[in-house]
């Protein structure tokens, strides 16, 4: 940088001590330099584009490490910064919907719950993937994970992490895990109150339970077009009958109507329950918090509804979308693809206990150390089902959970008709309150 110089002239005695500070200041300017207004200025240093990744506050640090890794690998092309969303998925969606509806350009990459894809795509809040990066984001991924990131024959997000529920049980009390729900309920009756831990509160977890039971019985919530109600009679009644029995049989948990995944996990870690329906994060949690429980903790496929027909369980997880009003959309696609790469999926599995969407990683030694049930998990995910594929999913889920809560009040004959009616209203965007 060119500097201007300042000459020092003697200060007349008559000027007095009041001017001595000025002389000192001029000397300082001479030493530090200043821009010469008569000379051309140096061009400003280019600023590295900042990409903001809105995602739930992952506790292990795996997401933060992935963001740092992709920033380093970008070699100055971009920098990824995480913005933490609440742990609750409903609160995450609420914050994102408000900002995306306002065309917030601060949102570059979105950690999207798998159920948001149709809504966000239809609203124009995310950009579709195409070309090489789209092919890269499909290749080698579990089919159900790719389906969860797709809508209308287009890919709208990169499959990143996935999950589904398994049956967890006490090996010191149960020699052979039950193959069906009826078998589990029969076994639980002799094991005392609270023997089965599940999700019964009026929220998304209740919708997940119903959807998985219904799919395992051979039914679906919506038709193939996603615009009409399905709910075939026999499968729907079968699913509802299991839910009612779970909530009202002698070994039912008295807190079932207010239980979520974490309440079930904490209860199981006390050592009292014998069965639990829950996601895979309960395994590292038990090892850390209740090693005596983990020592007698087994896993099995989610119980079947129809004997000799494997269960079909809903898929969960996080996909990575690019915000429609990002200032750097092309860089955001590159960064999202990096975040969803094999190395970062392995990191999320090892450190965060989040199952990968890349099928080959289930054979990776480090991933298998984290998930000793990796083969069972992959098998379950290969048969996984999607929740209702509609832009109106939020209304559909609310209609289901409000109609079926509390489970002990379910009447299988009556509630088939009630469910059809409220879901029809939800698909027509009519009020649910």
Give the whole-angstrom CA distance, residue 287 versus residue 324.
Answer: 42
Q: Give me the percent of the chain exceeding a pLDDT of 90.
A: 85
Determine the longest span between alpha carbons in the chain, in angstroms. 109
Q: What does pTM read for this prediction? A: 0.89
Strands 316-322 and 275-279 come out as unpaired
pLDDT score of 432 more than 90: no
Q: Is 34 left (phi over 0), alpha (psi -120 to 50) or beta?
A: beta
| Element spanning 84, H or E | strand 79-85
Q: Interior CA angle at 147 toward 141 and 152, to 5°?
A: 135
pLDDT score of 20: 52
Write the pLDDT tens digit of every residue in 227-255. 999 999 999 999 999 999 999 988 889 99
Class for the domain spanning 50-163+316-382: alpha beta
Give the whole-angstrom CA distance, residue 251 versus residue 231.
Answer: 29
Per the prediction, the chain carries an average pLDDT of 91
pLDDT score of 225: 94
Write the pLDDT tens digit of every residue in 295-332. 999 999 999 999 999 999 999 999 999 999 999 999 99
User: 165-314+392-427 belongs to which homologous superfamily?
Assistant: Periplasmic binding protein-like II (3.40.190.10)
pLDDT score of 86: 94
Strands 316-322 and 109-113 come out as antiparallel
Return the domain boundaries, the chain.
50-163+316-382, 165-314+392-427
pLDDT score of 76: 97
Do domains 50-163+316-382 and 165-314+392-427 share one topology? The answer is yes
Confidence of residue 429 (pLDDT cuts 50, 70, 90): confident
Confidence of residue 37 (pLDDT cuts 50, 70, 90): low
Confidence of residue 39 (pLDDT cuts 50, 70, 90): low
């Amino acid at each position: 940088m060119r500097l201007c110089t300042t000459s020092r002239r003697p200060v007349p005695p008559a000027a007095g001590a009041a001017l001595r500070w000025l002389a000192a200041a001029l000397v300082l300017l001479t030493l530090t330099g200043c821009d010469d207004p008569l000379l051309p200025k140096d061009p400003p240093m280019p600023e590295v584009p900042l990409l903001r990744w809105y995602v739930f506050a992952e506790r292990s640090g795996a997401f933060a490490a992935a963001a740092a890794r992709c920033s380093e690998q970008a070699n100055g092309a971009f920098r990824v910064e995480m913005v933490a969303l609440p742990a609750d998925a409903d609160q995450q969606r609420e914050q994102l919907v408000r900002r995306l509806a306002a065309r917030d350009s601060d949102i570059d990459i979105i950690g999207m719950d798998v159920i948001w894809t149709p809504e966000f795509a239809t609203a124009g809040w995310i950009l579709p993937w195409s070309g090489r990066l789209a092919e890269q984001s499909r290749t080698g991924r579990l089919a159900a994970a790719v389906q969860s990131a797709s809508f209308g024959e287009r890919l709208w997000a990169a499959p990143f992490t996935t999950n589904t529920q398994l049956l967890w049980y006490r090996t010191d009390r149960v020699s052979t895990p039950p193959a069906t729900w009826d078998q589990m309920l029969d076994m639980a009756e002799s094991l005392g109150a609270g023997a089965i831990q599940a999700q019964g509160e009026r929220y998304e977890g209740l919708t997940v339970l119903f959807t998985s039971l219904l799919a395992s019985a051979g039914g679906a919530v919506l038709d193939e077009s996603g615009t009409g109600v399905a709910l075939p009679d026999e499968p729907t009644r079968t699913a509802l009958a299991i839910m009612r029995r779970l909530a009202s049989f002698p070994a039912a948990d008295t807190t079932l109507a207010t239980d979520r995944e974490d309440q079930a996990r904490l209860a199981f870690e006390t050592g009292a329950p014998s069965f639990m329906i829950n996601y895979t994060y309960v395994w590292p949690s038990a090892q850390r918090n209740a090693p005596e429980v983990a020592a007698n903790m087994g896993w099995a496929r989610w119980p079947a509804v129809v004997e000799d027909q494997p269960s079909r369980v809903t898929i969960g997880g996080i996909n990575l979308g690019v915000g429609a009003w990002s200032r750097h959309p092309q860089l955001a696609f590159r960064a999202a693809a990096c975040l969803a790469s094999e190395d970062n999926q392995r990191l999320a599995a090892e450190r965060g206990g989040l199952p990968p969407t890349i099928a080959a990683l289930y054979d990776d030694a480090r991933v298998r150390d984290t998930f000793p049930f990796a083969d069972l998990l992959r098998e379950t995910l290969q048969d996984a089902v999607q929740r209702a594929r509609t832009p109106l999913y939020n209304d559909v889920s609310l209609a289901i959970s409000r109609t079926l809560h509390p489970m002990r009040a379910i009447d299988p004959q009556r509630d088939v008709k009630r469910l059809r009616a409220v879901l029809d209203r939800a698909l027509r965007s009519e009020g649910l309150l």
